Amino acid sequence: MKLDILAFAAHPDDAELSCAGTLIAEAERGKKTGIIDLTQGELGTRGSVKLRFKEAEAATKIMGLSVRENLNLGDGTFTNSFTEQKAVITCIRKYKPEIVLANAITDRHPDHGKGAELLKDAFFLSGLQKIETEIDGQLQKAWRPRLLLHYIQSQWLHPNLVVDISHTFSKKMKAVMAYSSQFHNPNSEEEETFISSPQFLKFLEARAVEFGNLQGFNYAEGFTMAYPPGVKSLTSVF
C-alpha cells in the first residue's frame, strides 16, 4: 500500500500528541496516512506494553489511519545505527510516502531528538540505490519522499509552518485520550507523570491555540524542516 503521509514516532502517543490533527485532516481529505512507532514505550511509568498496544489500536481507528506498525527498537535504548536506519528505510520503501513526519529535533525526552536524527538520516539514505533492503525476500527499490517535517513536542520550537487543525482538534483530543493509562484519569491509582496531570492537557490546547494564532487559525500544529522543500513557483505554496 502506498501512503501519502507516514509519521514516525519514538513512542506510541507521540504522534497523537503532536500531529494527530494533521493526520486526521488529511485522512478526511481522502489521503492515505500511517504511523510507525519506533518502540513499544516499555519504559513508561504508567500502563504496560499490552495496554499501550490496545490504546494505539483505539487511537488508530479514531484517526482513520490506513497503516500502523511498531518496530520495537527499544524504548530508551535505540540508537542511530545503520541497523536501525535500515529498519526505518525498509518502512519508507515499503509504503513510499510523499511526506514523512518525525519527532521533534530536540525535546525534553532524549528519545525524541534521537528519533529525529534517525529519521533525518534514514530519509536521505532511503533514496540511495546501493543501500539494499528487502521485504518478503524481495529487494526493495530506492525511495526518497518529497518532504520531511519534524513535529513539535513538549519543548517550544519556532515552527517553519503551521497546519490548520481547527476542525479536527476535538477528534485529535479523542485520539490522545485513547491512551487513558498515560493521560489524566481521576480514577487512576498509578504514579503521576509529566504528561498525566490535567495541566498537561490544558498545555496541549494552549499550544494549539498559540500555533493557530500565528496564521489566524483557531488551532494549529507546528512543524520544522530539516531539508527545505523545493517549489517551481512561489504561488504553489498556498
Q: The CATH number of the domain where 78 resides is what?
A: 3.40.50.10320
Amino acid 151: pLDDT:
98
Whether 2 has a pLDDT exceeding 90, the answer reads yes
44-48, 102-106, 140-144: least confident range: 44-48
- Burial of 113-122, coded b for 16+ CB within 10 Å and e otherwise, reads bbbbbbbbbb
DSSP 148-200: EEEE--SS----SEEEE-TTTHHHHHHHHHT-TTTS--TT--SPP-TTSSHHH
> Given a cut of 80, is residue 112 above it in pLDDT?
yes
139-145-147 Cα angle (round to 5):
165
Q: Give the pLDDT confidence score for residue 236 in this predicted structure.
A: 76
DSSP designation for 237: G
Q: What share of the chain is helix, strand, coil (3-state, %, to 5)?
A: 35, 15, 45
pLDDT level of residue 179 (50, 70, 90 thresholds) = very high
Residue 60's contacts (CB-CB under 8 Å, 6 or more residues apart) are: 35, 68
Q: Domain range holding 20?
A: 5-237
Q: How many residues does the chain have?
A: 238
- What is the share, in percent, of the chain residues with pLDDT greater than 70? 100
Mean pLDDT of 23-38: 98
Q: Assess contact for 120 and 113: CB atoms under 8 A.
A: no
- Does the structure show a pLDDT above 90 at 230? no
Distance, CA of 35 to CA of 64 (rounded, Å): 11
Q: Provide the number of structural domains found in the chain.
A: 1
| Kind plus residue range of the DSSP H or E element containing 212 | helix 198-213
229 or 69, which is more confident: 69
- Average pLDDT of the chain to the nearest whole number: 96
Average pLDDT over residues 194-208: 95
Q: Report yes or no: 187 and 53 within 8 Å, Cβ to Cβ.
A: no
* Mean pLDDT along residues 163-187: 95
